[in-house]
Amino acid sequence: MLYLELFLSFVKVGFGSFGGLSMIPLINQEMTSHGWLTAGEVSDIVAIAEMTPGSLGVNCATFAGIQAGGFGASLVAVLGVMTPSLTLCLLAAVFLAKLSRSPWLARIMGGIRPVCFGMILASAVTLSASNYLVDSAVSLWAILIGALVLVLLVRFRWSVPAVIGVSAALGVLLIR
């Protein structure tokens, strides 16, 4: 019964929020109303979930499930919080597959691609200022690390975690 209740609670969290911080009130309400966690424990779980890689919803579901009923309960909670996203993605895939030859959809996608490229480019420019400026001056070391990272990723096809580790170590050693 606990597994079903956890699953349904996290399905509700997944459908009833827009991800990220908007999930916190729903998670808090579901966990405390069922008596699985106290408000303080939910607060601790949210803090831990924010510090760990991955989406807040999946991390919270994992930690809340473990607290409420162990490993199996955490798997059920994660499946629950992911069900809405998976369902919507599958529906979108079916919709796009049926309309793949539509000239109307081709025009829409033709407009979406440059917008996405512009958003990625704007993010890169914005982040570059914080990554390549040290004490309001351009850091030659940061630029060299960035160039090395690009070469490692594109030319040598290193994995992203390995490149993150190398760039972090070089940043600590060279820039501090």
CA gap 168, 84 in Å, rounded: 36
pLDDT tens-digit series, residues 4-51: 999 999 999 998 887 778 888 988 999 999 998 898 898 988 888 888
Please check the confidence at residue 3 and state whether its pLDDT lies above 90. yes
64 CA to centre of own chain = 18
- Are the CB atoms for 78 and 58 separated by under 8 Å? yes
**Side-chain half-sphere exposure of 33, counting CA atoms within 13 A:** 9
Q: At 91, which amino acid appears?
A: L
Report the share of the chain in percent with pLDDT over 90: 49
- Confidence class for position 170, pLDDT limits 50, 70, 90: very high
pLDDT score at 129: 80
Between 123 and 5, residue with greater pLDDT: 5
Residue with tokens 């440059």: 114
- Comparing CA positions, the residue from 72, 85, 69, 65 lying closest to residue 20 is 85
Q: What is the mean pLDDT of the chain?
A: 90
Residue with tokens 């400026």: 133
- Are the CB atoms for 27 and 55 separated by under 8 Å? no
Q: Left (φ > 0), alpha (ψ -120 to 50) or beta: where does 19 sit?
A: left
What is the rounded average pLDDT of the residues 149-162?
A: 94
